[in-house]
Structure 1
Amino acid sequence: MEDPNERLRRIRQEIDEIDEKLVYLIAKRIECGKEIVHLKKILNYPVEDGKREREIRDRIFKLCEKYNLDVEVVWDIIKTLIEYSKKIQREELKK
C-alpha cells in the first residue's frame, strides 16, 4: 500500500503538470485569437461574433454533460477566456 504522503505528493505533482498544460493552452488560444483578428480586419468583420459565441457555448455545455462537470463553473471560465481574447483582439486592431 502506498504511503498517503507520497500519494498526496504525486497527485499534487500531477495537478502542477495539468496547470502548466492549461496555461500553455490558454496562451495557444490567445495566439489563435490574434490570428483571427487579422483575418477579421481583412474581411471587415467585427471583433464580437454572437453566433460564434453561441456555438462555443453549446459545445461547452455538451462537453460538460459528457464529462459530468458543473456547466456554470466551466462556462464562467470559458466566458472569461472569450472576454480576454476579445480584449486582446481589440488591442491588436489598434496597431
Structure 2
Amino acid sequence: MKLDQIRKEIDQIDQELVALLERRMVCVSEVVAYKKAKGLPVLDQGRENKVLEKVASLVDDEQYRSTIQAQFRDLMARSRDFQEEVKARD
C-alpha cells in the first residue's frame, strides 16, 4: 500500500473519530448536568478504572493495548477538564 493511500485511510478514520468524540462529549454534557443536580464530584475513579479494564479487553492486538489505554486515559482527563469548566461557569 502506498503512503498516500494509508494517509487517506487515516484521514477517513479521523473523520469518523471526530464524529464519535463529539457524540461522546454530548453524553459528557449530560453527565455534568446529572452530577451537578445530585451534588456528585467530577472524578469517579471506580468508573474510570472499569472503562480502562473494558478498553483493554476490547483490544485484539496486544501490541496496541497500552497505547489505546493511554489514549482513553487522556480522553477521560479531557472530559474531566470539560466537566470542571462547565461546573465553574454555572
Structure 1 residue 78: deviation in Å?
0.4
Say which one has the larger Rg: 1
What are structure 1's unaligned runs of at least 5 residues? none
Following superposition, the deviation at residue 8 of structure 1 comes to: 4.9
For structure 2, the 5+ residue unaligned runs are: none
Per-residue Cα deviation, 1:18-61 (whole angstroms, up to 9, x for no partner) = 11111111122122111101000111110000110111011011
> Counterpart of 1:68?
61
Of the structure 1 ranges 68-77 and 50-59, higher mean CA displacement relative to structure 2 is found in 68-77
Task: Select 1:43's aligned residue among 35, 38, 43.
Answer: 38
Are 1:22 and 2:29 matched, yes or no?
no
Q: Which amino acid aligns with 1:13?
A: K
- For the residue of structure 1 that corresponds to 2:43, the secondary structure is coil
Q: Larger relative CO (CA 8 A, sep 6+): 1 or 2?
A: 1
TM-score, structure 1 normalization: 0.82
Q: CA deviation at 1:11?
A: 3.9
> Which residue identity does 2:81 align to in structure 1?
K
Number of residue pairs the alignment of both structures matches: 88
Query: Which residue in the other structure is 2:28 paired with?
Result: 33
Q: What root-mean-square deviation, in Å, do the aligned CA atoms of Structure 1 and Structure 2 show?
A: 1.6
Measure how far apart 1:9 and its partner are: 4.0
Instruction: Name the SS of the counterpart of 1:47 in structure 2.
Output: coil
Distance in 2, matches of 1:28 and 1:78, equals 15
The whole-number CA distance in structure 1 between the counterparts of 2:21 and 2:61 is 22
Percent identity between the two aligned chains: 31
